[in-house]
Every structure is written in C-alpha cells, then in structure tokens.
Chain A
Amino acid sequence: MVAHVEGQQHPIGIYLKIWALLFVLSTASYLVDYFHFQGYLRWFLIITFMLMKAGLIVAVFMHMLWERLAMMYAILVPTLLLMVLLGIGALEADYTFFTRGVFFLKGLL
C-alpha cells in the first residue's frame, strides 16, 4: 500500500455503493421485525445484519480498511475484551433470574 500523502483518497463510487448496501441491510433488519421472525432465526438475522453494517461502516466509511495493521489492531483488539464483560453479564443475569424465581415462588407458597 502506498503512503497516503494527501490523506485518504478513494473514488466517490465506493461510498455510494456502501451507502446503498447499508440501506439494504437496514431494510432487511427492519423486515425481520415486520414479519415477526422469532427465536434463533430472529437472533441470527439481527446479529448478522448488525455486524455486517458495523463492519462496512468501520472498514469503508472510517477507512479502517486502508490503515496500517498497527492501527487496526490497536483499535479492534481491545474491543474483543468486551466479549468477556458480555459473558459475565449474561452469567450474572441468569443467576439473578434464577434466585428471583426462587424468591418469588417462596412468596407464593
């Protein structure tokens, strides 16, 4: 990759294409709700569309695709740590839900 002397220079067309693609993906995720998809299919579609949109915005609009790897990794790798927080949150929520269930059930007896 050649060093960008004048910053990021790309043809306008690529932005218009990504823009159109983001519209399509947004419509698709709206339709997931409109047609009342439920269960794992709903989750799979929502998460897929979400990650695709996020990827396109970061890669093209924010020009991450053309940055050096040192920059890419410095920004993207730390966000992976959030998966740990997500896991802890889910475990904690399950446990709280369980204890609440036990507590409220006892109240009923």
Chain B
Amino acid sequence: MTQAIPTNTVEPPALPEGLQGIVADWSSDQRAFKNVPWGKAMMWIFLLSDTFIFSSFLISYMTVRMSTTDPWPNPSEVFALTLWGKKIPLILIAIMTFILISSSGTMAMAVNFGYRKDRVKTFVLLLITAALGATFVGMQAFEWTKLIVDEGIRPWGNPLGAAQFGAAFFMITGFHGTHVSIGVIFLIIVAIKVIRGDLDHERPGFLTGRKGKYEIVEIMGLYWHFVDLVWVFIFAVFYLW
C-alpha cells in the first residue's frame, strides 16, 4: 500500500490546429492563449494598443499633409548632412535605421541565449542592445537640435513651408524617442536581473511576488522589436514620402 500512485499519467490531448484550433482556444472556457505565459499575451495586447496610438499619429500626419495648401518641406533635404564636403540626403536617418535594426538583431539573439540559460551572453547582448538604443536617442537629440537651432523649425511653424511639418515631426519622433528611452532603461534592468542570476534562481522581482523566469527577456524583446517596427513605418511615411 506504500506504492506511490502516479497521478496524471495521461498526456493532455494535443491542441487542434487551424480554424478549429481558434474556435477551440477561444471557446474552451479557459485561457484563450495557450502555450504562452500570460505576461507575453499581455505585452502583445499592450503593443496592439500602442499600435493604435502610433497609427493615429501617422494617419493624422497623413491627413494634415494631404490637406495643406502650402508646400511640404522636402525631408530628403531637411535631413541631409554634409559629410566630407559632400551633401548626402537623408544619411542621418539611414544610419539611425541601421542602428535600430542592429539593436533588434542583438535583442533577438539575447532572447535566444536567455532560453538556453547562457547568462553571460544574454547579459552582453542585452547591454549591446541598450547601447545601440541609447546611440539612436543620441542621434535623435542631435537631429532635433539641428532642426530647432539651425533651421528654426518649431511645432507651430517653420521657414521651409507648411506649418504642420514641425507639429507632426516633433510629435511622432518625440513619442517614438520616448519609447526608445523607456526601452533602454528596461533593457538595463533586465540585463542586471540576468547577470545577478535572478532568473536562474527564480527570485521574485522588485514590484511582484512572481518568480523570475527567462520569459521576461522575451517579453522585453517584444517591446523592443515593436519600437523597431514603428520606426520602419515612420521611416517610410515621414522621411521617404
């Protein structure tokens, strides 16, 4: 009678795929998002709401740009830099784009090494990501300074053409830059948690009693890739239009 009785010897049935899977997941009267930690599902839902915020900005920008009768300043010239005595159009923005894409690459690798429990590599990659993000914000500060001080562009008007240019520019890139800055801060926090071994030893976080797990690196990654994603749209519709 001392023999241990194994409980739950039956494997749970495999989840159905396809449309049937959607119906099964949503109608099961349980959690709708199987196989993902709730933190990840919540981050996705937050990012969906953020998508609507940025889309509202970009669509409003489109509306004012299409409806203004004044000529719109040519972004290709406004954001040109003179390097080695040669004027190169839009070069600063191109470099910023490459920096942000690279930070997305290192972030994706950090998530991967995190799940492999490679603490040092995850830490280093997270720090590189944060450094690239900080570089991006620094270049944006340079860009803003150039536009405000040298070109005299203000949110209410500018000497180059349509007054709406400044309002749209400062609003959209400012909001995006804020997202990057917040991301850098959180990247550093997650990096410290990783190198201290908080996630290996499942220590609870500062504001939560929940156990630390490597999924927080992936959740952080989702936010960071989203920031990169928004930049893809800003780059296309603001700088290349």
Contact = CB atoms under 8 A, between A and B. Distances in A.
A85 interface: yes
Nearest to A52: B232
Contacts of A65: none
SS class, residues of chain B in contact with chain A: helix
Given A7-B115, A68-B34, A69-B21, A12 B229 contact: no
Contacts, number: 166
B15 A68 contact: yes
A23 B101 CA distance: 7
Nearest to B26: A70
A92 B59 CA distance: 11
Which size bracket describes the interface of A in this complex? Answer: 35 or more
Contacts of A79: 48, 51, 55
Q: Please indicate which of the listed interface residues A7, A15, A18 has the most CB atoms of chain B within 10 Å of its own CB.
A: A7
Interface string B200-236: 0000000000000011001001100110110011011
B1 interface: no
Contact of A8 (B32, B115, B226): B115
Contacts of A73: 22
Given A15-B112, A93-B66, 13 more contacts: A8-B115, A12-B109, A19-B101, A46-B241, A50-B236, A57-B232, A61-B221, A69-B19, A74-B32, A82-B51, A82-B55, A89-B62, A104-B69
26 contacts: A1-B17, A6-B115, A19-B105, A22-B101, A23-B101, A29-B235, A30-B97, A33-B239, A34-B90, A47-B236, A50-B233, A60-B108, A61-B108, A61-B228, A63-B218, A67-B36, A69-B17, A69-B19, A75-B44, A75-B48, A79-B48, A93-B67, A94-B67, A96-B63, A97-B66, A100-B67
